[in-house]
Amino acid sequence: MTLPTDGPPGTPRFGVEEEFLVVDALTRTPVPRAAEVVRAASALLGDRVAGEITPLQLETRTAPCADVDELLAQLTEARKVIGGCARAAGLLVIPSGSAPVAGPVPPPVTVGPRQSRGTETFRGLHDELIVCALHVHVEMPDRDHAVRVASQLRPYLPVLLTLTANSPFWDNRDSGYASWRTMTWPRWPVAGPPPRFDSAAHYDEVVESLLAAGALVDRGTIFWDVRPSADKPTVEVRVADMAGTAEESAMYAAVVRALVTHLSAAVARSGPAVDIPGELMRVAYWRAARDGLDGAGVDLFTGRLRPADELVADLLATIDPVLRAQQARPLVTDGLARLLADGTGARRQRLAAARGGLPAVVDYLAEQATS
């Protein structure tokens, strides 16, 4: 396939998947009633809303979009629809990487042969399935290019995480982390930051070995934080916690698309991606998950600690020409300014908890979901 030409030069289409928790409006506890909301919302959204691996969650999707205004409009529409359908049933939908008020452990799992194979394979890991992420797809010319761009993205993954850290609470307590979801998710055998791959053939060789080792149910259970999509001509960036507002999701998606576009050009003129030592990547993830924007992060190009806001500023400087070309710079600069002033979702959840405990956090998130 070829990249579309209905936007500025070098502007691939992109799309977003948002995952929400469904909670009881009175108890604020996750409840297995997502199917009710999906049924009602699908009358207006069609296949842009669907269930997830547990009946405590649902997912909304945008169509492929050429510009950020179109993306933001679709995100806003979907949130208003699912929020209204949830409230009509005595429920709330909340945009958070984890549940502020704990849900059932183990959570119920959606019925089906694939899910049964997953439970048999991953066992107790499914006890921590009550997490929600934000996925961004960026269109690629071919699969080999997607794999090579994914490898170029690896040093930027912790910085992208700092922008979206939004899961401080776990099991009815403050975890002490900005993104506790990030600390639970890599427990799966194929999750977290991927290894470096030099080609689609190299990627496929490793995946075949993982399948043979029984580490995957199928190729859809490759949970790496960046990967070529299993069924779309895209590179999929999966590192983010679910974002609080539609504007944050759109801002983050615009950053990801600009970065992918920048690195896509670099792939055409450079050799293999920088091979970050696994130990250093692990520490960078840990720092980003612990502190979000409120501390220091690891500069994976130098191996040194730097203030997180400096790492974000470096990222913005790197992609600024692309953001201008893609007419996304105002959305991104305004969004980043708000994050730096008000804090990421994690900081804002903690402020809500200070005002009224965990129920107040749920109410705040439900308001954020549709505001």
**Which tokens hold the place of 188?**
């799966």
State residue 7's pLDDT score.
39
DSSP 108: P
At residue 338, does pLDDT exceed 70?
A: yes
Those residues with Cβ within 8 angstroms of residue 3's Cβ, 6 or more apart along the chain or in another chain: 12, 139, 141
At residue 183, does pLDDT exceed 70?
A: yes
Return mean pLDDT, the chain: 93
State residue 9's pLDDT score.
45
Q: What is the mean pLDDT of residues 266-294?
A: 89
State residue 17's pLDDT score.
98
Give the DSSP letter string of 11-22: ---EEEEEEEEE
Q: What is the mean pLDDT of residues 181-208?
A: 93
* Distance in angstroms (rounded) separating the CA atoms of residues 100 and 311: 29
With b meaning 16 or more CB within 10 Å and e meaning fewer, what string describes 174-194?
A: ebebbbbbbbbbbebebbbbb
Closest by CA position to 90, among listed 29, 48, 169: 29
State residue 112's pLDDT score.
83
Q: What is the mean pLDDT of residues 263-276?
A: 81
Those residues with Cβ within 8 angstroms of residue 162's Cβ, 6 or more apart along the chain or in another chain: 178, 288, 291, 292, 293, 297, 308, 311, 312, 344
Q: What percent of the chain has pLDDT over 70?
A: 97
Predicted confidence band of residue 119 (pLDDT cuts 50, 70, 90): confident
At residue 87, does pLDDT exceed 80?
A: yes
Parallel, antiparallel or unpaired: strands 191-192 and 223-224: parallel
At residue 3, does pLDDT exceed 70?
A: no
The residue type of 16 is V
| 349 touches 96 (CB < 8 A) | yes
Residue reference for tokens 């690629």: 140
Q: What is the mean pLDDT of residues 229-247?
A: 94
Predicted confidence band of residue 118 (pLDDT cuts 50, 70, 90): confident
State residue 10's pLDDT score.
64
Write down all domains in the chain, each with its CATH number in brackets.
Answer: 15-370 (3.30.590.20)
State residue 8's pLDDT score.
43
The sign of the dihedral angle between the CA atoms of 347, 166, 364, 245 is positive
State residue 6's pLDDT score.
37
Closest by CA position to 151, among listed 266, 316, 257: 266
Q: What is the mean pLDDT of residues 282-308?
A: 96
State residue 72's pLDDT score.
98
- Helices 157-164/308-325 angle, 10° precision: 100
At residue 55, does pLDDT exceed 60?
A: yes
State residue 1's pLDDT score.
24
State residue 273's pLDDT score.
78
* Distance in angstroms (rounded) separating the CA atoms of residues 139 and 235: 7
Residue pLDDT, tens place only, 129-155: 899 999 999 999 999 999 999 999 999
Report angle CA 307, 312, 314 to the nearest 5 degrees: 95
State residue 117's pLDDT score.
86
State residue 155's pLDDT score.
95
* Distance in angstroms (rounded) separating the CA atoms of residues 241 and 73: 21
Q: What is the mean pLDDT of residues 189-212?
A: 94
Q: What percent of the chain has pLDDT over 90?
A: 81
